[in-house]
Amino acid sequence: MHDEDPLAQQQRLFELVRDQHDGARELPLDGQQLRPQLAAGQKSLNLKGYSLCIWDGWRSVEAQWRLWEVCPDPRYVADPRNGVSNHCRGNTVDITLVTLEGGPVEMPSDFDAFGPEADRDYSDVSPEAAANARLLEEEMAAAGFAGYSAEWWHFTDCDAYEVYEGAAA
């Protein structure tokens, strides 16, 4: 059974993408407040034959500015001129479902596919992709996360966190 702690999975992800995000570092220890919630979601999904795969989480304010430069569309990237993204607070994850073995599950779109298929209306995707996205939504809501209407993969802890800019301890 794929029962790896999602936060440990996220730490490894940040090691792999640190150079791409130019400034992204491992999740700050404060962000570990998400650990129990993600673990609860993981446990529930494991019982249904799925696992969580974290694509993105904490990012530095500098990385947020770089993302805005590449995609200046407030539906998909928070405009840093309007305040700090929840990703910079460590209370937001971009996440998907995978099989227990880590294999792909049909979802509405690829990660960061900024278009109509990314929203949570699901009218323009297959019934299987819609059902999988709804399952992810339900499980993340049960674990204390709120979804974002323009991105099926984006979930924010309902608690507010302070911005974190230092290197992880």
Picking from 76, 95, 92, 94, the residue whose alpha carbon sits closest to that of residue 33 is: 92
Task: Work out the number of other CB atoms within 10 angstroms of the CB of residue 129.
Answer: 18
Which residues are catalytically annotated?
A: 151
- What is the Cα gyration radius of the chain? 15
DSSP letter at 167 equals P
Q: Give the C-alpha separation, 9 to 17, whole Å.
A: 13
How would DSSP label each residue in 131-154? HHHHHHHHHHHHTTEEEETTEEEE
Counting beta carbons within 10 angstroms of the beta carbon of residue 120, is it exposed (0 to 12), middle (13 to 18) or buried (19 or more)?
middle
